Chains A and B, each alone.
Chain A
Amino acid sequence: MNIKSLFISNKIKHLALVVLAFFSFTYNLHAQDGDVALGETLFKANCAACHFPDKDMTGPALKGARERWIENSSEENFYKWVKNSKSVIDAGDPYANKLYKDWNGTAMTAQNLDDAGIDAVFAYVEIYEPTTAPPPPKGEMTSQGPVETSSLYWWLLAGLLIVVIAVIAGVKGNLAAIARDKDGEEQPEQLTVGQSARSWAWNNRGWFGVTVFGCIILLLAVGMVKWLDLGVYENYKPEQPIAYSHELHAGNLGIDCKYCHNAVTKSKHATIPSVNVCMNCHKTVNEGKDSDGTAEIAKIYEAAGYDVDTRTYTGETKPIKWVKVHNLPDHVYFNHSQHVVAGGVDCKQCHGNMKKEDVARVMSTEDLNNVGVTDDDWDENDVKFTKPTLTMGWCIECHRQSSVDLAGAPDGSYYNEIHERLLKDKKTYKRYLEDDVVTVGELGGLECAKCHY
């Protein structure tokens, strides 16, 4: 019965679809005059920069535009508008003037199309359907695993074990006392906990000593390993206010790192982009891959003060409080532009392959050494590290190995000056060139005051 009703409802649905399709077909009949394929070409060449077929962008959605014109003005004006919108506005057509006003006084660019071309464009627009279920982009955001709760879990387990053992020990002691009672043996004299522990330790001094010694060694070893981790930021990956994915933007969409982090060539900081940089694209792209993505994009609009319905900026902005990931203590001076411009260091040398990461993370040494080895997004890094990322040993390692192209330095630059100086001091130069390279370290890159002052 249920199944039957299901079939019926499906049939009705199909019927409704057919009827709908039929009506929409007749409705669009006069729009089908043009050549759809030609229309698509013309649309993409002339209209697509400002119009989506089915969504408002810089200009309104083109679907149904012809009908709106016929309803509010005339078809003749519709053609005129496409060819030269200004003529229709100047002629005083009320609908044209309303359109002009509604779209913030942005005049539509006059299009060099004839009537047949316009028909073709609208034939394409009217039958346009957005591609359903877009294929997931290559660089899909990997879902983050379940939240780590292991620390709580371990504590609970340890606590439980201690309780169980204490209970068992108590029961055992009582049982032994009962057994001794039964056998008529003398109960051992009552000692305090401390006394009994001390006498036990003395009685078993061999084993006890070895155990204590082992524990101390273990603690020292563990302590040493942990102390080496002190101040090491590797794998620090804080949650950010907006779940921005580097994998999608830099990897899949191929946007250069420096498009957003554009001050990297000019300043100490690479800079987190101001929200207007996000809006350069997201003014148009307001839907994410799924509803989560759309919600994240909405956070940009909130920050930028952008009303997505009216497509205008309101001026009510809010800051986005990004969390800084790569921290250096105050007694270290590091300058991005110095390394990127003068040093010619690639981003990936220190930041790894961000094409495969969602939010920013302090890459581990292993990640940095694997760039170009376990992936083919980049070439291999010039310098391979052994020390943990963002530690002083790590900086020094690179300064020792990186070579400076003295001969190729542009005239009048700092390296050029050093080159001149070295040419006069042949002895030092010869010593520098023993291994065929002049490294940053040899030019003073290891001096304390280079970074600490």
Chain B
Amino acid sequence: MIVNDNIEQMKLKAFKILTIASIAISGTLVSCKADSNSPGLEYMPDMYRSPAVEAYVDYGEVEGRYDEDAQTMVEEKFSYLPPLGTVPYNGNNYMTPYNHGGPIGVDKTHGLFEVAQDSAGRDGAKADVNPIAWSEDVVAEGEELFGIFCIHCHGEAGDGQGSVITNSNGKYPTPGPYKAELTAGEIYYTITYGKNAMGSHASQVNPVERWKLVHYVEKLIGKEQGEPTLAPADADAMVNEGELIGIELLDAVIDTAAAIIDPQH
């Protein structure tokens, strides 16, 4: 009888210990999951922060060493415009380098520091001819790009009623419908340097994509599609003239040309 009681007590004790152990273990488990700031346990963590430089990786600590240089680099370069010479140049066929300087004051109003400024920039750009020949495919590509980069403000029909305008409760002004008098060169110029409330999109779309966009925007404006806006002979003349102007301009900006922060991105 006494022995039985003892065994009963012991069973109770073992059960108690087990319970405590379970609680402790579950507590540990919970503690592993709670913090969304922690990526969780890693197998071979060093492989996630390798000494070979990768984008966006925090180089504060690699293999237990604190890499001051890498850390400084990350802190200085994070979320900045791409450095000069790291974006494809696309050759000479797409009006690169672009010879029209940004509007005066573009460094103050649009943050485009080190971009050559030119009071005749926009007027000079008006006569530019789209170097990409029109075709259904090009317009389709332009439409796809428009759907990514323009549609949320300018709207599907180019009427300036995109979702950002209609859903922002008046916080963002409408750019208005595209004006009929816009020329191809002017549209390109605006995408490159921005205009008024619109910022420069040079870091987001490269020159080839910009010219494709121009084709699609012209379609939205209702310009005649399917043939060049100018008769071929005239176009040649314009290109020659453009080249002459370009050479003149190039002479004028030759010193600063090297420092142009790349409207050509």
A interface residue numbers (CB < 8 A to B) = 44-46, 48-52, 57-58, 104-106, 130-131, 134-135, 137-138, 148-151, 154-155, 157-158, 161-162, 165, 200, 203-204, 207-208, 211, 214-215, 218-219, 222, 226, 229-233, 235-239, 252-256, 258-259, 262, 268-269, 271-277, 279-281, 283-285, 287, 303-306, 311-313, 315, 317, 319-324, 327-331, 361
Contact = CB atoms under 8 A, between A and B. Distances in A.
Given A48-B176, A253-B164, A215 B44 contact: no
Contacts of B4: none
A253 B113 contact: no
B163 A321 contact: no
Contacts of B7: 204, 207
B44 A329 contact: yes
A284 B58 contact: no
Interface stretch (B123-131, B192-200, B236-244): B192-200
Interface of B: 7, 10-11, 14, 16-18, 20-32, 34-44, 47-48, 50, 52, 54-58, 74-82, 103-105, 107-111, 113, 147-149, 151-152, 160, 162-164, 167-176, 194, 196-201, 203-205
Given A200-B10, A254-B164, A274-B81, A150 B44 contact: no
29 contacts: A48-B173, A48-B176, A155-B27, A218-B22, A226-B29, A230-B42, A231-B41, A231-B42, A231-B43, A233-B39, A236-B38, A236-B40, A238-B37, A253-B163, A253-B168, A254-B162, A255-B152, A258-B148, A259-B204, A274-B82, A275-B80, A281-B172, A283-B197, A311-B109, A313-B109, A317-B80, A322-B79, A327-B39, A329-B47
Contact of B110 (A148, A235, A313): A313
Contacts of B164: 253-255, 281
Contacts of A208: 14
A284 B80 contact: no
B18 A214 contact: yes
B176 A45 contact: yes
Given A155-B27, A330-B47, A280 B172 contact: no
A49 B238 CA distance: 32
A302 to B, nearest CB: 12
Contact of B79 (A134, A275, A331): A275
Contact of A232 (B24, B40, B55, B167): B40
Contact of B167 (A203, A254, A305, A315): A254
A233 B201 contact: no
Contacts of B14: 204, 207-208, 211
B174 A158 contact: no
A53 to B, nearest CB: 10
Contacts of B160: 49
Contacts of A313: 107-111, 113
Contact of B196 (A58, A158, A275, A304): A58
Contact of B147 (A232, A256, A304, A361): A256
Contacts of B25: 218-219, 222
B170 A131 contact: yes
| 6 cross-chain pairs, A with B, having the tightest CB-CB distances, nearest first | A151-B31, A254-B163, A154-B27, A330-B50, A280-B199, A329-B47
A151 B34 contact: yes
A229 B20 contact: no
Given A57-B197, A276-B200, A229 B40 contact: yes
A386 B199 CA distance: 43
A38 B123 CA distance: 33
A256 B148 contact: yes
A50 B168 CA distance: 17
B37 A239 contact: yes
Contact of A319 (B80, B111, B163): B80
A331 B38 CA distance: 22
Contact of A259 (B32, B37, B39, B148): B148
A44 B174 contact: yes
B60 to A, nearest CB: 10
B104 A105 contact: yes
A449 to B, nearest CB: 18
Given A204-B7, A254-B163, A259-B148, A304 B34 contact: no
Contacts of B204: 259, 262, 277
A269 B56 contact: yes
B120 to A, nearest CB: 13
Nearest to A232: B40
A215 B78 contact: no
A331 B47 contact: yes
Nearest to A273: B79
Contacts of A204: 7, 10, 14
A315 B109 CA distance: 11
Given A49-B176, A283-B199, A313-B111, A154 B151 contact: no
Given A157-B27, A276-B111, A285-B168, 4 more contacts: A130-B170, A158-B20, A231-B40, A321-B75
A284 B197 contact: yes
Interface centre among B26, B40, B74 (most CB of A within 10 A): B40
A133 B11 CA distance: 66
B36 A237 contact: yes
Contacts of B163: 253-255
B176 A238 contact: no
A426 to B, nearest CB: 33
Nearest to B81: A274
A49 B174 contact: yes
A58 B195 CA distance: 9
Contact of B34 (A150, A203, A219, A268): A150
A14 B58 CA distance: 59
A245 B176 CA distance: 27
A235 B27 contact: no
A239 B36 CA distance: 8
Contacts of B77: 319
